[in-house]
Amino acid sequence: MGETSALVLFSGGQDSTTCLAWALDRFDRVETVGFDYRQRNRVELDARPRVRAALAAAFPRWAGKLGDDHVLDLAALAAVSESAMTRDVAIAARADGLPNTFVPGRNLLFLIFAAALAYRRGIARLATGVCETDFSGYPDCRDDAIKALQVALNLGMATRLVIETPLMWIDKAATWRLARDLGGEKLVDLIREETHTCYEGDRAHRHDWGYGCGHCPACALRAAGYGAFRAAG
């Protein structure tokens, strides 16, 4: 399988866009995959092609590396989920402490389907923006879960696939810094203008850190991280 290529799990949000830039900086060929699971913030699916086009236009050194994009239909995930990401309900904490935006098995399924696609495409590396340091508590974002899944995938497909998690141990402020390190203020501005992270799918309200409702957990993390990033200089 191709060690010089990567498949990035790309939602169109801040973290996955930073991961895409990270992969473009390191690999010769980079493809992207997104998932339509009938998510509440479906506007992120509209952001994906816009972000890819903006990256190619702003960074010619990456444009030639950016390969095919794939969108997989995972409607069954919505059918089995009772989550604020797949239902029109208020975002709140559950009795177990997790936010009700948690979609059980979502990241695991994403990685399984991405691994199957990578197998067919001859790609040996997956890159995903999961993070254990500054996140909403989702258990399928944790390092142990990702490492265990990598073992299972390689045993089940007789491969040597590597799941790259460049954001695993950094917070949102450091994610903004990583973007600046990779592409300067041009990439930071692109992320602010073009990406979408808000759980409510709000593109009507513009903040210093980008578009969003400003009060959902995703917006709160993004705003706090951007503030800390700018304060640090």
Per-run averaged pLDDT (10 residues), the chain, 233 residues = 85 96 98 88 88 98 97 84 55 53 77 97 96 76 94 97 97 97 98 93 95 91 96 92
Q: What is the pLDDT of residue 83?
A: 58
Cβ within 8 Å of residue 205, ≥6 positions away: 211, 212, 213, 214
Q: How much is the pLDDT for 41?
A: 64
Assessment of whether the complete model's pTM goes beyond 0.85: yes
Smallest Cα–Cα separation from 9: which of 25, 1, 20, 22? Answer: 20
Of the options 3.20.20.80, 3.40.50.620, 3.30.70.890, 3.40.718.10, the CATH number for the domain spanning 2-196? 3.40.50.620
Q: What are phi and psi of 102, to 5 degrees?
A: -70, 125
Question: Can you give the pLDDT at residue 134?
Answer: 62
* Model pLDDT, residue 196: 93
Domain residue ranges in the chain: 2-196
Is beta strand 2-9 parallel, antiparallel or unpaired with respect to 123-127?
Answer: parallel
